[in-house]
Amino acid sequence: MEVREPDMTFYGYSYADYLTWNIPEIVEIIKGRVFKMNVAPKRIHQKISGRLFLKFGNYLEGKKCEVYDAPFDVRLSKNLKNNENIYTVVQPDLCVICDPSKLDEAGCLGAPDLIVEILSPGNSRKELQNKYEVYEESGVLEYWVISPEAETLLIYTLINGKYNASKLLTSGDIASTSILPGFSIDLEELFAGLND
C-alpha cells in the first residue's frame, strides 16, 4: 500500500486514506477535509485536561462508561463500518463512551455520549463551527467547550437532534451532566492556579 501525505486542499478523504498517511503531525478529518492539529497543547490546556480526566475517571471507576483522552480516534459515521465510507475522524480532548459496542482496537466507531474540547489559540473556529456541526449531526449527546483564557465552560445538550446551549458557566459554577447522574465538577477547582 502506498504511503502518502494528504493534500490539504482536497475535500474527500476517508478514514481508509488516513490510515495510509505517514506524517509527523496528528490530523483530523472533518467531512473529508484534513485539519492539522496544533503543535503540542499549552501547559494550561494539559492541566485542565488532566484534571477533568481524573475527575471523570474516578467517577466512572466500576461503571460501564469509560473516559478516553487524545490522541484517540473517534470515527463518526452513520451506521457505516467500512473505512472507505467514513469521512470524519476526530481527536477530542476527552470523550466518555457508555456503549461498549462502539469501542474497538482503533478507538471509537460512532458518537461518544459526551465530548470535551478545550480551546487553544488557533483552533476556536474548528471547535466551535466544524466540530459543533459534526457532533450535532452524529448524535453526540453532550459537547463541552472549555475556554482556558476566559475560564468558561459552555455545554451543548442534544435535544430532538439539535444542540441547546447552557448558560455560560464560570468560576464558582458547578457543572454536571445528565449522561452521568451524580457527576459534577466545581469550575473554581477546575480553573484554580492554572498559571502557577
Q: Are the C-beta atoms of 188 and 174 separated by less than 8 Å? A: no
100: left (phi over 0), alpha (psi -120 to 50) or beta: alpha
193: left (phi over 0), alpha (psi -120 to 50) or beta: left
Q: What is the pTM of this model?
A: 0.89
Q: Is residue 92 part of a domain?
A: yes
Q: Is residue 35 part of a domain?
A: no
Q: Is residue 99 part of a domain?
A: yes
Number of folded domains that form the chain: 1
The domain spanning residue 78 has which CATH number?
3.90.1570.10
Q: Is residue 183 part of a domain?
A: yes
Predicted local confidence at residue 8, as pLDDT? 53
Q: What angle do CA 37, 53, 144 make, to 5 degrees?
A: 65
Q: Is residue 30 part of a domain?
A: no
Q: What would the grid cell of residue 69 be? A: 483522552
Q: Which domain holds residue 136?
A: 41-191
Q: What would the grid cell of residue 167 be? A: 448558560
Q: Is residue 33 part of a domain?
A: no
Q: Is residue 104 part of a domain?
A: yes
Q: Is residue 20 part of a domain?
A: no
pLDDT in tens, the chain (196 residues): 344 555 555 568 888 988 888 877 788 888 888 887 766 678 899 999 999 999 999 999 999 999 999 999 999 987 677 788 889 999 999 999 999 999 999 999 999 999 999 998 765 665 678 899 999 999 999 999 999 999 999 999 999 999 999 999 999 999 999 999 999 999 999 999 887 7
Burial class (CB in 10 A: 0-12, 13-18, 19+), 179: middle
